[in-house]
C-alpha cells in the first residue's frame, strides 16, 4: 500500500468573492506522485481546529511547503512585520504544532522554503524577516520575471557541510540552487544542525540529526526535479524514509 503524505496548505482567497480556500501548489503533488511514490493528502490550514494527533497517527510523512506568506513574528518573539507583509496565522497554528508532533513521533519530514522556516521556529529557532535589508546579505527574493525559467532558475551556489546528508546525496561540497525567499534563519534551533550555507552565510539547509528523516531546504527542489538529479534525490530519499517507517510499524503489529 502506498504511503499517505501530508502536504501543508496555505489560506488563499479565490473566486469572484474572495472566498477562503486551502491550497498547495501542484508542484508538490506531482513530486509526491512521481518521486516520493506516495498518495498526496492535503492538510488544511484550519488553525487550532486541526487534529494534530490524528494527522500524525494516520499519515506516513509530511511535506511542509513554500508560500508567499511569512511566519508570524510573535511565534519567535520577533519584531512586528512591516505593514503589508503577508501572514497566514491559520497555517502557522497547524504547521508549527504538526512539525513538533511529527518530529516527536519520528514521522519523516521534508520542509521546503517557508517549511524550513517553520521547522526552525517550531523547534525553538528564530528568523530574519528580510535578508536583503541586512548588511552584507544578498537579495534572496523571487526575481519578478514572468518567465518561470528565470524566476525559478539557479540563482547561487550553496556550500554543503563536509560529510553531511546533503554532501553524500550531492557527491559534492557545492550545489547550485534557486532562491525565492525573503525570510531566513537567524538563530538556529538547538535540536537542528545546519547543512548548507549561501555565499552570504545564510543557512540554506537544516536537519534534525536524531530523527530518521527530518530535513529542511531553503530552495525549491520541486521546481526542477525533472532536470536536476539532486532535487530528484531529495524527494526519493524522503520516500525511502517513509517506506522504511511503514515497514517498521508493520513488523511491530
Catalytic residue among 9, 113, 140, 195: 113
Q: What is the pLDDT of residues 48-66, one digit of tens each?
A: 999 999 999 999 999 999 9
Q: Is 222 tagged catalytic? A: yes
Q: Is 253 tagged catalytic? A: no
Residue 148 has pLDDT above 80, yes or no: no
Catalytic residue among 128, 167, 181, 220: 220
Query: Full-prediction pTM beyond 0.85?
Result: yes
Sign of CA dihedral 160, 65, 207, 76: positive
CATH architecture observed for domain 4-252: 3-Layer(aba) Sandwich (3.40)
Please report, for residues 30, 31, 137, 183, the alpha-carbon distance to residue 150 in angstroms, rounded to integers and kept in the order given. 21, 21, 21, 21
- Packing angle between helix 89-104 and helix 114-122, nearest 10 degrees? 60
Length of the chain: 253
- Mean pLDDT on 220-235: 95
Least trusted range by pLDDT, from 11-15, 110-114, 140-144, 190-194: 140-144
CA distance 128 to 73: 9
* Longest Cα separation, the chain: 55
Give the residue among 172, 126, 147, 153 at the shortest CA–CA distance from 223.
153
Q: Is 113 tagged catalytic? A: yes
Catalytic residue among 128, 167, 222, 225: 222
* b/e sequence 29-67, b meaning 16+ C-beta within 10 Å: bebbeebbbbebbebbbeeeebebeebbeebbbbbbbbb
Amino acid at each position: 500500500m502506498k504511503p499517505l503524505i501530508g502536504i501543508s496548505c496555505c489560506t488563499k482567497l479565490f473566486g469572484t468573492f474572495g472566498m477562503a480556500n486551502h491550497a498547495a501548489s501542484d508542484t508538490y503533488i506531482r513530486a509526491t506522485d512521481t518521486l516520493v511514490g506516495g498518495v498526496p493528502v492535503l492538510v488544511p490550514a484550519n488553525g487550532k481546529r486541526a487534529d494534530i494527533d490524528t494527522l500524525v497517527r494516520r499519515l506516513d510523512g509530511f511535506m511542509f511547503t513554500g508560500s508567499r506568506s511569512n511566519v508570524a513574528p510573535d511565534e519567535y518573539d520577533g519584531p512586528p512585520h512591516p505593514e503589508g507583509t503577508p501572514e497566514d496565522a491559520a497555517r502557522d497554528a497547524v504547521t508549527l504544532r504538526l512539525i513538533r508532533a511529527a518530529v516527536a513521533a519520528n514521522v519523516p519530514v521534508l520542509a521546503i522554503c517557508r517549511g524550513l522556516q517553520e521547522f526552525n521556529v517550531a523547534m525553538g529557532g528564530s528568523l530574519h524577516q528580510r535578508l536583503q535589508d541586512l548588511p552584507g546579505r544578498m537579495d534572496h527574493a523571487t526575481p519578478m520575471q514572468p518567465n518561470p525559467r528565470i524566476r525559478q532558475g539557479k540563482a547561487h551556489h550553496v556550500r554543503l557541510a563536509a560529510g553531511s546528508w546533503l554532501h553524500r546525496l550531492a557527491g559534492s561540497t557545492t550545489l547550485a540552487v534557486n532562491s525565492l525567499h525573503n525570510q531566513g534563519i537567524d538563530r538556529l534551533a538547538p535540536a537542528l544542525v545546519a547543512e548548507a550555507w549561501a555565499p552570504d552565510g545564510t543557512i540554506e539547509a537544516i536537519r534534525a540529526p536524531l530523527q530518521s528523516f527530518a530535513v529542511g531546504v531553503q530552495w525549491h527542489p520541486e521546481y526542477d526535479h525533472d532536470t536536476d538529479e539532486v532535487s530528484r534525490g531529495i524527494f526519493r530519499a524522503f520516500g525511502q524514509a517513509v517506506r522504511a517507517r511503514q515497514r517498521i510499524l508493520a513488523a511491530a503489529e
